[in-house]
Amino acid sequence: MLANVAAFMKARSSGSHTADHIWALDIRDAGVAQSLASVARGIAESLGERFRASKIIGVPEVDEVYSAVSPRSAGGSDRSLVDCHYDAPLGWLPGSAVFYRVIVGCTDNIHVQTSFPQKSIDVVLSTGDFVGMDYSRDLHCVRGGIPEGQTRVLLKLHYIIAPAGTEEMLTTHLIRRTNIVWTRMSRYLMRASADPTGPVEHMVALLVNMSRVLMNNAVVAVGALVVILVLGFSVIL
């Protein structure tokens, strides 16, 4: 199944020197779509065994097949995908449900490592390996380099992990919907500025990378917000 997905993505991203992706729901190849659905179900079952007191709810709206850029050569907004970062800034949302991302390796790999510095965990995802993370709370970094002529293909699958009895609560729906909007918006901006050529694209890339720094440093983010508010009010007044 994963070989099918990898072949599809390699053909799609052939010749690209930036990261590439396609939303799972946009894939029209029936065989690839079936493979993705099967893998997503299998991961959901694994999560159910790990989080036995919770309900596992798939979020296919933001599942994607992803062709990675080499960490050593990432430029533009692709840097935000490999430097240490949180995937979203939404850990403050109310509710006990967790928006959870699972990354699945679709190609052989011994050169690229995903690190979780706050947990002192390092993983090398090869074909069939997977790792899960809290979308807004797990800091992670990608290190190493993809050898010339090779393509690193990953699945990024998403789930709501909701304590039993909370899956229909308003806060759970809020967490789901807000993370969907964030993921689609941020992916659009990153893809639009991965290889900037004009001033607007360069500005978007700069903003994307600045947002990563701000999310990584909550105190700095709050300070920046205060400065923006003060400047805004000074203009108004």
**Out of 1.10.3470, 3.40.630, 2.70.70, 2.60.120, which CATH number does the structure's domain 2-236 have?**
2.60.120
29-43 burial: b if 16+ Cβ within 10 Å, else e: eeebbebbeebbeeb
Q: What is the pLDDT along the chain (237 residues), one digit of tens a residue?
A: 899 999 999 999 876 777 788 999 999 999 999 999 999 999 999 999 999 999 999 999 999 999 987 765 555 555 656 678 888 888 888 999 999 999 999 999 999 999 999 999 999 999 999 999 999 999 999 888 888 888 899 999 999 999 999 999 999 999 999 999 989 988 877 666 555 566 766 665 566 556 665 666 654 454 455 455 566 555 554
User: Cα separation of 120 and 13, whole Å?
Assistant: 33
pTM of the model: 0.83
The alpha-helical segments, DSSP class H, found in 14-152 are 30-50, 79-82
| φ/ψ of residue 126, rounded to 5 | -110, -175
User: Cα separation of 5 and 186, whole Å?
Assistant: 24
Q: DSSP letters of 77-114?
A: GGHHHHSSB-S-S-TTSSSS-EEEEEEEE-S--SSEEE
The answer to whether the CB of 184 falls within 8 A of the CB of 64 is no
Query: Which residues, at least 6 apart from 137, have a Cβ–Cβ distance to it below 8 Å?
Result: 86, 91
CB atoms under 10 Å from CB of 224, counted, come to 14
Distances (CA, A) of 60 to 17, 167, 183: 27, 16, 12
For 141-180, the pLDDT digits (tens) are: 988 888 888 889 999 999 999 999 999 999 999 999 999 9
Chain centroid to CA 178: 14
Residue ranges of the domains in the chain?
2-236
The answer to whether the CB of 214 falls within 8 A of the CB of 220 is yes
Going by the DSSP 8-state scheme, the letter that residue 139 receives in this structure is -
